[in-house]
Structure formats: C-alpha cells, structure tokens
Amino acid sequence: MLAADGHVDKTGGRFYLDLKESDAYHVKQLAIDLESDAEPAPTKYKSVRLTIMSRQIADDLRALGLNHDKSYTLKYPEIPEDMHRHFLRGLMDGDGSIAERSNNARYHVLEFAGTKDIIEKVRFIISDTLGVRAPKIFKRKNSPLHTVKWGSKAEILAILDWFYEDATVYLKRKHDMYLSIPREYPPIEK
C-alpha cells in the first residue's frame, strides 16, 4: 500500500500515507502496527493522511525506491518470492481497481496502474505464478503511468484468490468487491 499511496518526504525523516476517508480505519491500523501515536488528519481532498515521523523508516523506504517522485521512478522491489502476493495486494489496494464493467455484475475488470517497471513485473509475476495470460500493457496519455488489466472472470478470481488467501491486511471495500464476484467458473489450476 505504501508503494501506491505512500510518500516519503524529500529531505526529512517522515513519510505519509493518504487514503480515502472511507479507508481511515486502515490508516489508523498502520499507526497502531507501527506503535505510533500519530492520528490520521483529514485533507482538503476528501482523504485522510497519516504522518509518521521516523528517520529510520523514511530512510528504509527511500532505499526501496519510495521517494518523493515515485510516480515516475518506482521500480519493483527485490523481495522474497513468498511476499509477492502481499506486495501486489497492497499495490492493488492503492493503484488498482476491481470493477464491474457497464454496471453488469457478469463482467468485471482487474486493473493496475504504475510505472512501466512496476506494471511489467506485475504482469510477469501474476502470469508466471498463476498461469494466466499476460495482457498487453498500455501507456496512459499525458501521464507517466502504464496500465495492465485482466477481463476474464476466471483469471480475475484466480488472481484475487491468490492475493486474499489467508490475508489479514487489505482494504475492506476492495475485498468486498472480490467477494461479490459470482463464482460461475471452475478455478484455474496453478
């Protein structure tokens, strides 16, 4: 989630996490997990911001590529293979979407947005790990962002099943959307 909606101060020892007001519980939980007494504060953009003052954490996040201009520069981090689904779930929570197409519950789309490096790795890891197709990557017009999306319900369910298996940290609204997808297809074999 921090890779998507976090921000590390340019020079100081602090980092921020901004989420929708409806996701304030998630920001509060991060403060609790970090044993911080920081409180989320409302912003003028109908979101909440958690500010954590910690030179060590800020420096560690910078070392992972989470800097002030990460929208242009973020690379997929070197992490253990068993952590990919957790990183990708957090990335989806922040820079991804699960949506019904054309207000029709029969048709869904799962989309990620990010730097070219992030999106190439997302596509590769998901396709390689789950055996689902590797869809085309698109560059957004007038933006540094690239996107990749899956539209097959069977593939979407395979991806989300993998993300949420035994997961305890996630945005409730996205998890609820996942749970609402009808299961009319047999699972894809890994």
- Residue pLDDT tens, the chain, 190 long: 888 888 898 877 889 989 999 999 999 999 999 999 999 999 998 899 999 999 999 998 888 888 777 878 899 998 999 999 999 999 999 999 998 776 655 678 999 999 999 999 999 999 999 999 999 999 999 998 999 999 888 999 999 999 999 999 999 999 999 998 888 755 666 6
Tell me whether residue 190 is in a domain: no
Is 131 in the same domain as 162? yes
In Å, what is the CA distance from 76 to each residue of 32, 91, 115, 117, 174? 27, 11, 9, 7, 22
Is 42 in the same domain as 104? no
Is 92 in the same domain as 149? yes
Domain boundary among 17, 33, 67: 67
Is 94 in the same domain as 154? yes
Q: Is 169 helix (H, G, I), strand (E, B) or coil?
A: coil
Is 159 in the same domain as 92? yes
Alpha carbons within 13 A on the beta-carbon side of 75? 7
Residue 37: which CATH number? 3.10.28.10
In Å, what is the CA distance from 159 to each residue of 47, 78, 97, 152, 168? 28, 21, 13, 11, 17
Is 85 in the same domain as 162? yes
Long-range contacts of 2-6 (CB under 8 A, 24+ apart): 2/61, 2/66, 2/90, 3/66, 3/70, 3/74, 3/77, 3/87, 3/90, 3/91, 3/94, 3/95, 3/118, 4/90, 4/91, 4/93, 4/94, 4/95, 4/96, 4/114, 5/94, 5/95, 6/61, 6/66
* Max CA separation in the chain (angstroms): 51
**Structural domain range at position 54:** 2-67
Is 24 in the same domain as 60? yes
Is 63 in the same domain as 86? no
Tell me whether residue 160 is in a domain: yes
Tell me whether residue 75 is in a domain: no
Q: Is 89 helix (H, G, I), strand (E, B) or coil?
A: helix
Tell me whether residue 166 is in a domain: yes
Number of structural domains found in the chain? 2
Is 92 in the same domain as 175? yes
Q: What is the pTM of this model?
A: 0.88
Is 110 in the same domain as 170? yes
